[in-house]
C-alpha cells in the first residue's frame, strides 16, 4: 500500500490530468453555486477562468512539492532539493493567490481588474522563467488577461471559446503523456 502511494506521488505524469480534473470540478462547483446569482456573467467568467488556471497550477505545484519531499527518502531525486523546493514555492504562491482572488471576484463588488492582471502576469512569467516547455501552461494567463481587458462582447466570447479549446487540448495532451509512461523530460524530448 505504501509503495503504491509513494509511486503515485512521484509519478509526474499523473499530476497534470489530476490538476485539470480538480480545476474543472472547482469551476463547476463555483458556477453551480452562482447559478441563481445576480452577479454579471463577465464577473462569473473572469472568476471561473482564473480559478481554473490557479487550481491547475496550484495542484501541480503541490504535487511537485510533495514529490520533492518524497524522492530524497527514496534516493531517486537528481539535483538540488533546495532548488526543487524553490521551484514549487514560486509556482505555489501566485497560483494559490489566484485561487483566493477568484473567490474575491465573486464576493466583492469592487473592481479587481488590476489585481487579476498582476496575478496572471506573475504566474505566467514564472512558468516561462522555468523553461520554454512550460509555454502551453502559461498561455491561459494570456487569455485571463485578455478577457479582463476586452471591451467587446464578441471578443470576450471568442477569448473564452479559444481558452476552452486550449484547455481541452492540454487535457488530451496530458492523457497522452500519462499513457506514455515517460518522464516529462523524455516526453518533451529534453532527455
pLDDT by 10s per residue, the chain, length 191: 667 777 777 777 778 888 999 999 999 999 999 999 988 889 999 999 999 999 999 999 999 898 888 888 878 888 888 998 999 999 999 999 999 999 998 887 777 788 899 999 999 999 999 988 889 999 999 999 999 999 899 999 999 999 999 999 988 888 887 777 766 556 555 55
Is residue 165 helix, strand or coil?
A: helix
| Contacts of 23 by beta carbon, 8 Å cutoff, 6+ apart | 51, 52, 53, 55, 56, 59
Q: What is the CA radius of gyration of the chain?
A: 17
* The three grid cell numbers given for residue 103, joined into one nine-digit string: 473567490
Residue with cell 458556477: 31
**Contact (CB, 8 A) for 126 and 95:** no
Residue of 29, 63, 52, 26 lying closest to 141 (CA atoms): 52
- Diameter of the chain measured on Cα atoms: 55
Residue of 24, 55, 39 lying closest to 108 (CA atoms): 39
Please give the angle made by the CA atoms of 170, 19 and 12, to the nearest 5 degrees: 85
**Contact (CB, 8 A) for 120 and 145:** yes
* The three grid cell numbers given for residue 120, joined into one nine-digit string: 496572471
Q: What is the pTM of this model?
A: 0.89
**Contact (CB, 8 A) for 144 and 50:** yes
Amino acid at each position: 500500500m505504501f509503495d503504491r502511494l509513494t509511486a503515485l506521488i512521484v509519478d509526474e505524469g499523473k499530476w497534470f490530468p489530476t490538476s485539470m480534473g480538480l480545476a474543472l470540478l472547482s469551476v463547476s462547483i463555483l458556477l453551480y453555486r452562482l447559478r441563481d446569482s445576480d452577479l454579471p456573467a463577465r464577473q462569473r467568467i473572469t472568476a471561473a477562468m482564473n480559478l481554473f488556471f490557479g487550481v491547475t497550477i496550484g495542484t501541480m505545484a503541490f504535487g511537485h512539492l510533495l514529490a520533492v519531499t518524497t524522492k530524497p527518502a527514496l534516493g531517486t531525486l537528481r539535483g538540488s532539493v533546495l532548488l526543487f523546493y524553490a521551484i514549487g514555492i514560486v509556482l505555489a504562491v501566485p497560483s494559490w493567490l489566484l485561487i483566493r482572488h477568484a473567490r474575491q471576484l465573486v464576493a466583492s463588488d469592487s473592481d479587481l481588474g488590476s489585481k487579476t492582471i498582476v496575478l496572471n502576469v506573475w504566474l505566467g512569467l514564472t512558468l516561462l522563467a522555468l523553461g520554454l516547455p512550460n509555454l502551453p501552461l502559461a498561455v491561459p494567463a494570456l487569455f485571463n488577461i485578455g478577457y479582463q481587458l476586452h471591451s467587446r462582447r464578441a471578443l470576450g466570447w471568442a477569448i473564452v471559446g479559444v481558452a476552452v479549446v486550449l484547455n481541452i487540448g492540454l487535457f488530451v495532451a496530458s492523457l497522452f503523456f500519462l499513457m506514455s509512461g515517460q518522464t516529462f523530460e523524455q516526453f518533451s524530448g529534453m532527455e
